[in-house]
Amino acid sequence: MNYLDNIAFAILLVLGIGFFVKNVKKLTRNIKLGKDVNRTDNSKARWKNMVMVAIGQSKMVKRPIAAILHIIVYVGFIIVNIEVIEILIDGLFGTHRILSFLGGFYNFLIASFELLAFLVLVSVTIFWLRRMVLRIPRFWNKEMKGFPKNDALYILYFEMVLMSLFLIMNATDIHFQEMNSGNLISQFLVPIFDGFSVESLHLIERTAWWIHIIGILIFLNYLYYSKHLHILLAFPNTFYANLNVIGKLDNLESVKNEVKLMLDPDADPYAAVPETENDVPEKFGASDVTDLNWVQLMNAYTCTECGRCTSSCPANQTGKELSPRAIMMKTRDRLEEVGNNIDKNGKFIDDGKQLLNDYITPEELWACTSCNACVEECPVNIDPLSIIIDMRRYLVMEESSAPQELNMMMTNIENNGAPWQYNQMDRLNWKDE
């Protein structure tokens, strides 16, 4: 008996999973670079949100064709991967189809895997056609050039290859085909291999088996670098999502204390500032990823770049620079850069760059109407608007660099309690006009 196969398999498995764990650690470290925000309240509503939105895909149905195709790939992905359990056992112990002792039930399982593999293959092909032949506009916005475009295609090719390998592996398994049960789809592939010798068939079957499992391990490790992380992060992302009505923006706590002090007639303006451990005053708003909270950073990693947000954005629809998807992609790119900087230097060394200006421009930020269409559309509860508002806060409160017309509007509110130059004493004049 030759144990070489089993040892090679075990080594591959350890490498594949080890590398994946390393990336997951890096991922959580990067997310934790964000500021703290309490999202552990109301856990019942959070579980419900996760079950409905992530598991139940409730927000996908708004676009029914994509929703049906996606649910096939989603269910197929989970169920076909049950087969991986058998592959793992077979690979480690040198057995062949170890679970076949289950008899009829085994054949039923394999038959359903085959059916789903076939449906996934069809759906993924339609996905490819939608992208590359129908050229649905949201896949062709300008932020989708280069890697983001290829990334999406690699994933589709990966799934096509993995599903095909699974069916080929079954079709060339002589013993499995002889049972003629459970080979629901693979039986139709058998004629392709007519006239092949037993040895060649065995070789093809083994090759397909090996490439299939190696492919899965590569796919697992590709996740971290790809938009496809949503298959893992959609769950925590919906769990920790904002549960308030989406019209509500947070009231900045740091501002609250200062405003209270300003309005308090008993406050002593000359009182010594209480000494704190950290003497640097808190920055208002966000100019870099570390000023955002960890949920916003997780949002960035969860984004799968489907572009529903951007396609529903009024600013984007009318040709403005702003694209909510690009806001998420740029946040992730900058976060990766900061993460790599830390990996290289042991801690973050100033690289003279930040999220504002180097990635996201004020022009994009000022084009937003805060209409919440992007937030409403996102199938995994990402909130691009919160990042836009936090960055506007930095522009206004730290840099005083709002567009001139907005400065005038704000001066008016300060002076006369209305965004226009009208006297507050004239507020009731309409009654007699």
Residue 182 Cβ, how far from other proteins at the closest point, in Å? 45
**Residues 10, 92: contact at Cβ < 8 Å?**
yes
Q: What is the four-CA torsion angle of 218, 221, 226, 227, rounded to 10 degrees?
A: 100
**Nearest approach, Cβ of residue 129 and other proteins (Å):** 25
Question: In angstroms, what is the minimal distance from the CB of 379 to other proteins?
Answer: 14
Residues that bind other proteins (CB under 8 A): 62, 244-249, 251-252, 255-256, 258-260, 262-263, 284-285, 312, 314-315, 317-322, 363, 366-373, 376, 389, 391-397, 402-403, 405-406, 408-410, 413-414, 417-420, 422, 424-431, 433
State phi, psi for 198 to the nearest 5 degrees. Answer: -55, -40
As beta bridge partners, residue 360 has 356
The residue (of 97 and 283) whose beta carbon lies closer to other proteins is 283
Residue placing its CB nearer to other proteins in the complex, 190 or 252: 252
Question: Residue 231's CB: how many other CB atoms inside 10 A?
Answer: 15
DSSP-assigned beta bridge partners for residue 293: 35
Helix (H, G, I), strand (E, B) or coil at 361: coil
Helical ranges in 81-103 per DSSP H: 83-93
Query: Smaller CB distance to other proteins: residue 41 or 433?
Result: 433
Kindly tell me which of 250 and 343 has the beta carbon lying closer to other proteins.
Answer: 250
Q: Which of 335/395 has CB closer to other proteins?
A: 395
Shortest spacing between CB 295 and other proteins, in angstroms: 18
β-partners of residue 35 are 293
Burial 244-264 (b: 16+ CB within 10 A, else e): eeeeeeeebeeeeeeeeeeee
**DSSP designation for 329:** H
Of 194 and 433, the one with the shorter C-beta distance to other proteins is 433
Q: How far is the CB of 69 from other proteins (least distance, A)?
A: 21
Distance CA 83, CA 99 (A): 10
Spell out the residues 6+ positions from residue 130 whose beta carbon is closer than 8 angstroms to its own: 66, 136, 139
Minimum separation from the CB atom of position 408 to other proteins (A): 8
Which is closer to other proteins, CB of 151 or CB of 321?
321
- Least CB distance from residue 292 to other proteins, whole Å? 15
Integer Cα distance of 14 and 430 in angstroms: 76
Q: Which is nearer to other proteins, 266 or 433 (CB)?
A: 433
Residue pair 224/27 in contact by the 8 Å Cβ criterion: yes
In the complex, least distance from residue 279 CB atom to other proteins, rounded to whole angstroms: 21
Other beta carbons within 10 Å of 410: 13
